[in-house]
Structure 1
Amino acid sequence: MDIVMLAAGSSSRMGDTNKLLLTYNDLPMVAYSCLEALKFLAQYADRNDESCRLIVVTGYRRQSTEKALETCKAFMEGTNSRLEMLIVNNPDYRNGQFSSTKIGVSQINDGPFFISLADMPFITAAHYEKLVPMLESHDAVRPFSIKDKDRVPGHPVLHASRLKEMITKCPDDYSVSKILKSCDVYEPSFNDDSWSKDIDYVQDYENLDRK
């Protein structure tokens, strides 16, 4: 089981602010999101006796983003030796999110994998855990939040290993959503907006209930 964490975007809707460095629960947002992913992977590695990897894809202001991940490296030192965190840079991050997705997915081991977003700090280890048993024979599991009776697609999305080749062979102007249209995707609904709640604007951050 691996997780690809996308942390390469330019935060253009926040002007000159790198939203991934904004504080959430006393940590840079990117570090908090990655720590929750690592907590899940550590539990999964112990339970299944297999190697797990978190692949963090950076791009915009990569040096500051990677420095913010020092907390994650400290966490790694006290966990399962079969847990790994790999940081990869996308020099062409301006080509769009899918270019970063392809770079991250190209680094996964054989087995199922999540694609997650670093600007969604409400996603906890428990969210990842909840989707794992739902994959079964499906190609993917994509969670939805129920908001005012509407179903809103969310993250992380869990993929079967066979989707790796499909993703990495597509052009940069493609998307995972387009790929999933031709796949067998299980789409559970939850009364939890964490699945679809990200931080795009300054007001989103100002409205956070944070420490």
Structure 2
Amino acid sequence: MTIGRRGIETVIVAAGLSRRMGKVNKLLLPVAGLPMVRRVAACHARLADRVILVTGFDHAAITEAVFDLDVVVVYNPEFATGQAGSIAIGVAAATLAGRGLMIALADQPNLTLEDLEALVDAFDADDASRVCVPTYLGQRGNPLLFPTALVREMRHDGRAPGCRRFIDANPQLVLNYSAPNDHFTTDVDTPSDAHNILGVFVSDLENEG
């Protein structure tokens, strides 16, 4: 793999059951006319040298939504067991050839390229030596940016990066980046979120279905 200007590889988790959204898969909700998962994946693809999208629930529809983007789709057959397994699948598929590995979620449509660049800038300013965790008004957000060397070590030991337990247990390895907006801490989980964040009424979509 040829490392680009940032040397960042990204794993996006897009495998969840979307239970709290009712009958609608939240990752397919429209954001400016595009499925949310496509918007998020396209944003990360503008920054990262390589993007791995981990699918599970509704695999065919999610894959179709990103079919022409420069992303690698990896399927987690055990997606129902939770997010940790999907992260592990994504990390296993990573080349770890760059400086950092970003662990991202597919339900954060407000994130922009500028937001992600700022996170990488904070990571770089710390010599890419610690896990960069975005925060806003004291609230921890996503994505998380890990030094590749640390991910290699964790993968060798059978541990998956991205879990809250690891972050809490290793404060000396954590760099908190204080973001200027709530984009890192805003995600879409419920019909109320869809209305407030996206301006979408999920009940209307369910009736259409």
For the criterion TM > 0.5, the same-fold answer is yes
1:68 Cα offset (Å): 0.8
Structure 1 residues 194, 175: CA separation in 2 closer, same or farther (over 3 Å shift)?
Answer: closer
Normalized against structure 1, the TM-score is what?
0.81
**Alignment coverage as a number of residue pairs:** 184
Q: Within the alignment, does 1:68 sit opposite 2:65 as a pair? A: yes
> 1: CA distance between counterparts of 2:162 and 2:41?
23
Normalized against structure 2, the TM-score is what?
0.81
Give SS of 1:188's match. Answer: strand
> 2: CA distance between counterparts of 1:21 and 1:8?
12
Query: Could you tell me which residue of structure 1 aligns to residue 78 of structure 2?
Result: 92
On the 8 A contact 2:56/2:77 being kept in 1, the answer is yes
Query: Which segments of 5 or more consecutive residues in structure 1 lack a partner in the other structure?
Result: 42-51, 77-84
Query: Which segments of 5 or more consecutive residues in structure 2 lack a partner in the other structure?
Result: 1-7, 201-209
Counting aligned pairs with the same residue, the percent is 30
On the 8 A contact 1:40/1:126 being kept in 2, the answer is no
On the 8 A contact 1:90/1:103 being kept in 2, the answer is yes
> Which of 22, 29, 36 in structure 2 is aligned with 1:22?
29
Structure 1 residues 106, 153: CA separation in 2 closer, same or farther (over 3 Å shift)?
Answer: same
Structure 1 residues 16, 32: CA separation in 2 closer, same or farther (over 3 Å shift)?
Answer: same
Higher mean alpha-carbon deviation, 127-136 vs 97-106, is at 127-136
> 1: CA distance between counterparts of 2:103 and 2:128?
18
1:69 Cα offset (Å): 0.8
Give SS of 1:138's match. Answer: coil
> Which of 90, 102, 112 in structure 2 is aligned with 1:124?
112
1:176 Cα offset (Å): 1.7
Query: Could you tell me which residue of structure 2 aligns to residue 179 of structure 1?
Result: 166
> 1: CA distance between counterparts of 2:155 and 2:130?
12
> Which of 6, 9, 18 in structure 2 is aligned with 1:2?
9
> 1: CA distance between counterparts of 2:108 and 2:15?
14
1:210 Cα offset (Å): 5.2
> Which of 101, 110, 115 in structure 2 is aligned with 1:113?
101
Q: Cα deviation per residue 1:106-150 (whole Å; 9 max; x = unaligned)?
A: 12122211011000011111111112132214321000011xxxx
Query: Could you tell me which residue of structure 2 aligns to residue 55 of structure 1?
Result: 52
On the 8 A contact 2:188/2:197 being kept in 1, the answer is no
> 1: CA distance between counterparts of 2:31 and 2:121?
29
